[in-house]
Structure 1
């Protein structure tokens, strides 16, 4: 009988966890522990703080529209350099301090991710944000090959278009698309808040669980920073992923506790209609 090679979890690594040394180490330990438990993790990483710092150092503008970085050709060069040349190498190094597990790659490799130019919508009007891509095709063969050989793929969210253009892809959406293509059982997105707030900024009450249809109704009113994360969760569960979780990356070992402990922290999105119940926690 053919072995089931589906990864149990695709993890988007980002936020404060990427710039705090102790949180980086804790995350690496969590990923290796998941691998040891046979869950076959796949990591997709961001790099927003590092990209912004490098742009500042080079005297280039950092600007966002609808939660997405405006990416000129000059900015794109910096994005590729920082993501695959620095952030990915550091993350691979942290994981491999525990053994020969992680292998780095980008969405450009083996045509893993193919994208088209994505506009941002501000007050109902499309805004050109440059070389920012929306994924239209995923070829997961290279990732599956790495998994088959016992490795942990670490993917930088850079994609190439059919037009030959290179695109900066939001890491939340890249992780979501890869999770769908791989038939993953679970998507986990690390962020810098406790979860999706029910009534931000008036309350810090966190929505503990909601359905895809309920989330769809909430999307238009979400803050720009949370929008791509929740859009990624929605795309994942509607694409066949069993559940998507938003976890607080500021908490050490959040991934291990959220995946193996299943302690209910953060926000979980599951398939279902808006008629299904939504639960909240504080």
Structure 2
């Protein structure tokens, strides 16, 4: 598969309503699209679908559309709504999108919309910034080792309280206020997520996911509820373990045989040049991902995210996506438009 590199300027301020990316410059295996104040939205297959002008402020721009424009937008989304109706989409939610209240409100609106049209969203969340706030309030210094939160007994209590109660129930409440139905769960509940404590020294109650019992989540989704799952696992003996939210979401997606796994992150997607947010890959195969890792293009914190996606694909998930949660309505833009906004990884 040829990888396509696209500009994050294709991300809009409102689902399908505002989008932009530039013209292509073909290279030997990737195409780069420049960022312009007036841009053409292009399909993943290369066909032009619409044109709109955006201010250089990007997310601050507001574009008024006629009734015809809005109907056209719905027409573009229709094939995707039909395709994904009744399908399960697992979304991992975290990072900056959780700290910005306006972004949080848009994510919640997107989830409710998906549920309303018959798609089954499952939300899996972390909450690192909120955990740090409460650790500081309680006089506990946040500590990390090799990118993992050192989780002693006191820290584990805070992690479980913050993720399983404050963050989880806040998201459930927001979904309900937006007109949806949601049920909050902790991965520890009913041993839904089982994990074993990592053997690495001096990191405490940090776990590796070993299995997921998806029956409770699946049953709730089938009844029209949006399951909201906190990334706290059980060791099977009553001990809570802190697990990576990306990994938890990936294993839940695999257990549910979900149509898609979507990781909402603080970057535009997989980048050809980590210092150039314009150089985003639109689509990647597993083979191409492995090549990019070998070349050092996929590196650092992106490696475990890509590994999570590849593992999901190997377990039957149809497609995985890495998108920028900082961009308003990026979830709907990736799911319901021809162009998409992040990186889609398929087998």
Classify the TM-score, shorter chain: 0.7 to 0.9
Q: Report the TM-score when normalising by structure 2.
A: 0.70
Q: Distance in 2 between matches of 1:104 and 1:261?
A: 29
Q: Distance in 2 between matches of 1:129 and 1:204?
A: 37
- 1:50 is displaced (CA, Å) by 0.6
Aligned pair partner of 1:225 in 301, 304, 307: 301
**Alignment partner of 1:50 is 2:50:** no
The C-alpha deviation readout for 1:141-195, integer Å capped at 9, x for no partner, is 1011111221110000111113443111111100000000000010001011111
Q: Distance in 2 between matches of 1:15 and 1:22?
A: 14
Number of positions where the alignment pairs a residue of Structure 1 with one of Structure 2: 262
Change (3 A) 1:227 1:165: farther
Q: Distance in 1 between matches of 2:108 and 2:210?
A: 30
Q: Report the TM-score when normalising by structure 1.
A: 0.86
Aligned pair partner of 2:102 in 22, 26, 43: 22
**Alignment partner of 1:82 is 2:156:** no
**Alignment partner of 1:118 is 2:194:** no
Aligned pair partner of 1:261 in 337, 342, 347: 337
Partner of 2:242: 168
Superposed, which structure 2 residues align to 1:189-228 within 5 Å? 189-201=263-275, 205-219=279-293, 221=296, 222-228=298-304
Gaps of 5+ in 1: 120-125, 272-282
Report if aligned partners of 1:12, 1:190 keep a CA contact under 8 Å in 2. yes
Report if aligned partners of 1:67, 1:228 keep a CA contact under 8 Å in 2. no
The C-alpha deviation readout for 1:42-83, integer Å capped at 9, x for no partner, is 000110111112122222222333432221111111101110
Q: Distance in 2 between matches of 1:157 and 1:136?
A: 13
Partner of 2:319: 243
Partner of 2:4: none
Change (3 A) 1:67 1:243: farther
Report if aligned partners of 2:150, 2:206 keep a CA contact under 8 Å in 1. yes
Q: Distance in 1 between matches of 2:305 and 2:195?
A: 18
Report if aligned partners of 1:114, 1:159 keep a CA contact under 8 Å in 2. yes
Gaps of 5+ in 2: 1-83
Report if aligned partners of 1:67, 1:224 keep a CA contact under 8 Å in 2. no
The worse-fitting range, judged by mean Cα deviation, of 36-45 and 64-73 is 64-73
Change (3 A) 1:216 1:54: farther
Partner of 1:188: 262
- 1:228 is displaced (CA, Å) by 3.1
Change (3 A) 1:32 1:233: same
Secondary structure of the 1:188 match is strand
**Alignment partner of 1:137 is 2:211:** yes
Secondary structure of the 2:250 match is helix
Superposed, which structure 2 residues align to 1:26-37 within 5 Å? 26-37=106-117
Q: Distance in 2 between matches of 1:246 and 1:266?
A: 6
Rg larger in structure: 2
Partner of 2:93: 13
Q: Distance in 1 between matches of 2:299 and 2:162?
A: 26
Partner of 1:123: none
Q: Distance in 2 between matches of 1:265 and 1:128?
A: 40
Partner of 2:38: none
